[in-house]
Amino acid sequence: MKALLQSVAVLLGRTPPRPTPEDISPRVREIHELQAMPMNREQIRDARAEMVSRPQTWRRRRWAVLIAVNLLFVLSYHLDIQLVEGALTGSRFVGFHMADVNSALQVMLAYRHVVLNLLIGVVSVSLLWWALGGRTFCSWVCPYHLLGELGEIIHLRLAARKLVKNHTFDRRGRTVLWLFFAVLAFVTGYTVYETISPTGILSRALIYGPGLALVWVVALLMFEIFYSRRGWCRYACPIGLTYGLVGVLAPLKVVHNIGQCHNDGACRQVCLVPHVLATTIRGRAKTMNTDLGADCTRCGRCLDVCPTSSLSFKFKGPG
**Of 106-115, 167-176, 191-200, minimum mean pLDDT range:** 106-115
Q: What is the DSSP letter of 278?
A: G
Q: Which of 191, 213, 245 is the last residue of a domain?
A: 245
Same domain for 151 and 181: yes
Same domain for 311 and 256: yes
Cα 135 to Cα 140: distance, rounded to the nearest angstrom: 9
pTM for the full predicted model: 0.89
* Structural domain range at position 258: 18-53+251-315
Structural domain total, the chain? 2
Same domain for 239 and 104: yes
- Which pLDDT tens digit goes with each residue over 116-150? 888 888 998 999 899 988 799 999 999 999 999 99
- Which pLDDT tens digit goes with each residue over 256-290? 999 888 888 889 999 999 999 999 998 899 999 99
Q: Which of 245, 262, 291 is the last residue of a domain?
A: 245
- Which pLDDT tens digit goes with each residue over 79-124? 988 888 899 998 888 878 889 999 999 999 999 888 888 888 899 8
User: pLDDT band at 27, cuts 50/70/90?
Assistant: confident
Cα 300 to Cα 100: distance, rounded to the nearest angstrom: 23
Same domain for 283 and 218: no
> Cβ distance 136 to 298 under 8 Å?
yes
- Which pLDDT tens digit goes with each residue over 31-62? 877 777 666 555 655 656 555 556 789 999 99
Q: CB under 8 Å to 190, separation ≥6 — which residues?
A: 110, 184
Same domain for 67 and 177: yes
In a domain, 271, yes or no: yes
pLDDT-above-90 percentage for the chain = 65
- pLDDT, mean of residues 303-310: 90
Distances (CA, A) of 116 to 84, 87, 110, 243: 19, 19, 16, 21
In a domain, 4, yes or no: no
Residue 288 CA to chain centroid, in angstroms?
Answer: 24
Same domain for 163 and 24: no
Same domain for 287 and 172: no
In a domain, 11, yes or no: no
